[in-house]
Structure 1
């Protein structure tokens, strides 16, 4: 029954894309059908075939092994804060160093030309099947590996001349996926590696699907049918490339740490205010004679109410829809790091909340993306700096791109729900 609900959820998400489309008549069925086909094919391969399960399990094990290498480096700097299990899980010393190490690896892979080959290969598949332009396909695939701020650098020469639909695609693609360095950090937190890897890869075509529903192409792209990726090599050797990548990773790790401190503290402050509000309403109700009335309010409760219908249509078991809605709300209103940290505590059994295995799988896919309000500002600022003449278009498309990114993640989650 829940699988059938997920099918209706998939249609509902596509329907929302059509409802908010800027030009419904210009929607191209080829992009939508091939985009869904690529997602469904990948999901079938991962969830329903032995080869797919084995491949992504092995890939997840490889990432986990990389995390062990991170512990060696972090252990040298932080000592027992990393290796002593009696101290428990310390996020700053056991997760953030992963971002630094993966940043160094990405720097090496780019210097050697490995990432360029992988990104170009996948982008060519999307251009040939979906019919998207070369520039937007490269950016969408690049977001899976390097993130929403860095991926547009791959297509920097083309941004100023891009169509509005292409600008929408690169912004939505960035918010529908997560960067490789951050993905490794989530795996280190205990999020299922195989599903997380699949979710981010599926996010690339999903982002293009939602972008082309919300802002269909009505102009002629200068990179139509072509894939050309050139990355200027500024490092003199592989050691400098690793050092630069590590420095970039350290900058990101500091930002993540600061962001979590601020947002989790803000949640605690808001919850305190909501608790007082609920307490006041409860006392007022008692004065009116409703002695059994109790209202317990928190930011999680309110977000759970707001987003529970979306959780239900993704195929989440009914008893979990409010908790799942709260996770979705945290991801969109705050950021996915806060939501994944909550999910990791549920998986580890250290949270008072309990979720069904099906819900955890769907949540892993639904939370996989940078769609939140701060990402809108990052996209306008980052991409706008590369093409100042397009800042106005980027600002107009920002909130719609956030919506597209969030719906793209929900789209991958419903497909996982259909097949789970």
Structure 2
């Protein structure tokens, strides 16, 4: 094992220790759960990255993403013309000059949202999530409702997953509620996974498979980080109930298709609005900060997160670049960080550091997502509003630690 891999291994121990320290060094998590969660992260990543049949599945996932992108382009070209990808009526001055994010990449959210609703109606997604929930319950001792919420977050967003366990939200313990919220921020939904994979495909091989692996590995990481920060109270029983998965959400496949498209439209507009507002706010802060100090918000966050980047196994010379990207993710969102990574081609980063960063960015750990999650969950369960609001920012911290643990895991398994 190389020195950088040992650095990642040390970071994989230091990051949970940080979560424990931020929680006040409280006891309540069995050593077996800690060891199992770490082993599960390493085992999942090792299997998905190194077993040939699973690696081959990455190529299939990538082909699927390309097929969805091609199909979506047919629709956007019809509706938006050359803005949506139809043949240009003029010569492109340089490759990529005609690419318009909103018209060519983001509409993929509509198609994936519609297909996800149909797969849910057919019982495919509930079956997969049930299996994952039972696995998490057996390995990490989670209650059924919490395990189901965590498992659902691997495939759907941080609001949709709690919606699936809405009937149990009021009964979840404070620790369980925190686990669900952390998992919501530490993973990404299938809709955004496809879009992000399309964006970073030029600089990250097997992008879709890598992002799916990251989201899967981040699930046990989120559980561990959350439990170390806010462990169960002594003698507190876990909340059961994963069998009550909502069924009959849609009347038919056509109803699922239509309503899934409508839900996707809301997500599409939300992404667009968040990008405009948060990029504008960061630019506004920089306009005020840079003339006075010569610094930008990205530089400040890069310095603050330098130790975290180092703990993931990034060389010291590259840690500031990785830390700055993590800072952009927290202040704006991960989409902008992935766009920056794609536009720069990973300049200044080795292939290994670029892969670690790809995994660490794979999560909704940003201020805007915290607002969306808190707003959605308080609407679902107003009687827990106080707990949900108070746990919002701590969940951002624990979710960030979980994503960085995933980055450290891939650092352990990837030689320089």
Instruction: Give the match's secondary structure for 1:297.
Output: coil
- 2:247 is aligned with 1:208: no
Q: Deviations over 1:156-202 (max 9, x none)?
A: 11111111111111111101101110111111212422211110111
In structure 1, C-alpha distance between the alignment counterparts of 2:78 and 2:199, rounded to whole Å: 21
Aligned to 1:275: 290
In structure 2, C-alpha distance between the alignment counterparts of 1:357 and 1:78, rounded to whole Å: 37
Corresponding residue pairs, total: 397
In structure 2, C-alpha distance between the alignment counterparts of 1:234 and 1:25, rounded to whole Å: 41
Within the candidate set 256, 263, 267, 2:278 is matched to: 263
In structure 2, C-alpha distance between the alignment counterparts of 1:306 and 1:66, rounded to whole Å: 39
Quick check: 1:303–1:329 contact (8 Å CA) kept in 2? yes
Aligned to 1:62: 64
Runs of 4+ in structure 1 displaced over 4 angstroms? none
Within the candidate set 212, 220, 237, 1:220 is matched to: 237
Segments of structure 1 that go 5 or more residues without pairing to the other structure are: 279-295
The alpha-carbon deviation at position 23 of structure 1 amounts to 6.2
The alpha-carbon deviation at position 340 of structure 1 amounts to 1.6
Aligned to 2:204: none
Aligned to 2:193: 183
The alpha-carbon deviation at position 248 of structure 1 amounts to 0.8
- 2:345 is aligned with 1:355: no
In structure 1, C-alpha distance between the alignment counterparts of 2:179 and 2:109, rounded to whole Å: 26
The alpha-carbon deviation at position 390 of structure 1 amounts to 1.1
Aligned to 1:140: 150
Aligned to 2:38: 36
The alpha-carbon deviation at position 317 of structure 1 amounts to 2.2
Quick check: 1:175–1:375 contact (8 Å CA) kept in 2? yes
Q: Deviations over 1:9-52 (max 9, x none)?
A: 11110111221225622112232222222211111112223223
Quick check: 2:5–2:411 contact (8 Å CA) kept in 1? yes
In structure 2, C-alpha distance between the alignment counterparts of 1:220 and 1:324, rounded to whole Å: 40
Quick check: 2:109–2:267 contact (8 Å CA) kept in 1? yes
Aligned to 1:339: 337
After superposition, the CA RMSD in angstroms is 1.7
CA separation of 1:206/1:58 partners in 2, compared to 1, >3 Å: closer, same or farther?
same
Normalised by the length of structure 1, the TM-score is: 0.90
Q: Deviations over 1:323-354 (max 9, x none)?
A: 1111111111222122122112123x7xxx43
Aligned to 1:395: 389
Work out which of the two has the higher radius of gyration on C-alpha atoms and give 1 or 2: 1
Aligned to 2:263: 248
- 2:373 is aligned with 1:379: yes
Instruction: Give the match's secondary structure for 1:146.
Output: coil
Quick check: 2:142–2:238 contact (8 Å CA) kept in 1? no
Aligned to 2:12: 10
Quick check: 2:333–2:366 contact (8 Å CA) kept in 1? yes
Aligned to 1:281: none
In structure 1, C-alpha distance between the alignment counterparts of 2:124 and 2:5, rounded to whole Å: 39
Quick check: 1:376–1:398 contact (8 Å CA) kept in 2? yes
Higher helix share: 1
In structure 1, C-alpha distance between the alignment counterparts of 2:365 and 2:132, rounded to whole Å: 23
Aligned to 1:230: 245
Q: Deviations over 1:231-289 (max 9, x none)?
A: 142432211211111111111111111111222223333333333224xxxxxxxxxxx
- 2:160 is aligned with 1:150: yes
Normalised by the length of structure 2, the TM-score is: 0.91
Aligned to 2:407: 413
